[in-house]
Amino acid sequence: MNETRLREEMAELSRSLFARGFSVGSAGNISATVDDGLLITPTNSCLGSLDPSRISKLDREGRHVDGEPPSKEIFLHRAFYETQPATRAVVHLHSTYATALSCLSDTDPNDCIPPITPYVVMRVGEVRLVPYVRPGDARAGDLIRALEGRYKAVLLANHGPVVAGKDLRSAVYAAEELEETAKLVVMLRGAPVRRLAPAQIDELKRTFGSQ
């Protein structure tokens, strides 16, 4: 996909997320790689009304070369690209239910989202909790790098989800799947939930791979 089309797709998918309440105000940020660097939503921008031509562009060394100033979470996004060669897009939201799980003190930090449906296994996988740092703190990048690329999705404690994908649409769909599964997890709190069995999870991985 060429850069012009990718900019348009970033604005379209962002608008769709905003329209459905996955992001409010100026919360959240989205990035995707291009041949000579990466595109990322401008800091303090509203995902509901991005101007494709004003999306920030950084070169391969991380220098701001075009558009408005980049999201302050650029460290977070770059850490995913640095540790996951197949990742081409990263989506960070403050979507309600995933953020709720990121605030609950009894969320298992190694297994924030249990494998309760096939699609969360196929699109998201295991989700790790990343300790709290303030929004825009470069240490978020260090915390992601310490995971050595093992997780496609994480929850930032008391903040929200971050999801990586092989392209922009995959990352957005995975972020939506994560949010809807988080909603189920919150709805089912206290109820005797049946997780998918390890053999069922293996079958999904064998059949569908990592999509």
CB neighbour list of residue 193: distance below 8 Å, 6 or more residues apart: 114, 116
Task: State which of residues 15, 64, 72, 145 lies at the interface with ligand 13P (CB under 6 A).
Answer: 72
Contact pattern for ligand 13P over residues 113 through 142, marking x by CB under 6 A: ----------------------x-------
Residue-level length of the chain: 211
End-to-end alpha carbon distance in the chain:
18
Task: State which of residues 4, 44, 49, 200 lies at the interface with ligand 13P (CB under 6 A).
Answer: 44
Mark whether 173 is an active-site residue.
no
Smaller CB distance to ligand 13P: residue 18 or 115? 18
Contact call for residue 67 and ligand 13P (CB under 6 A): no
Contact call for residue 27 and ligand 13P (CB under 6 A): yes
Contact call for residue 52 and ligand 13P (CB under 6 A): no
Smaller CB distance to ligand 13P: residue 71 or 181? 71
Ranges assigned E (strand) in the chain: 29-34, 37-40, 56-59, 64-66, 89-92, 127-130, 153-156, 160-165
Contact 58, 73 (CB under 8 A): no
175, two tokens: 């972020």
Contact 180, 163 (CB under 8 A): no
Q: Of 3, 68, 119, 180, which residue is the catalytic one?
A: 119
Contact residues for ligand 13P, defined by CB under 6 A: 26-29, 41, 43-44, 71-73, 92, 135
Catalytic residue numbers, as ranges: 73, 119
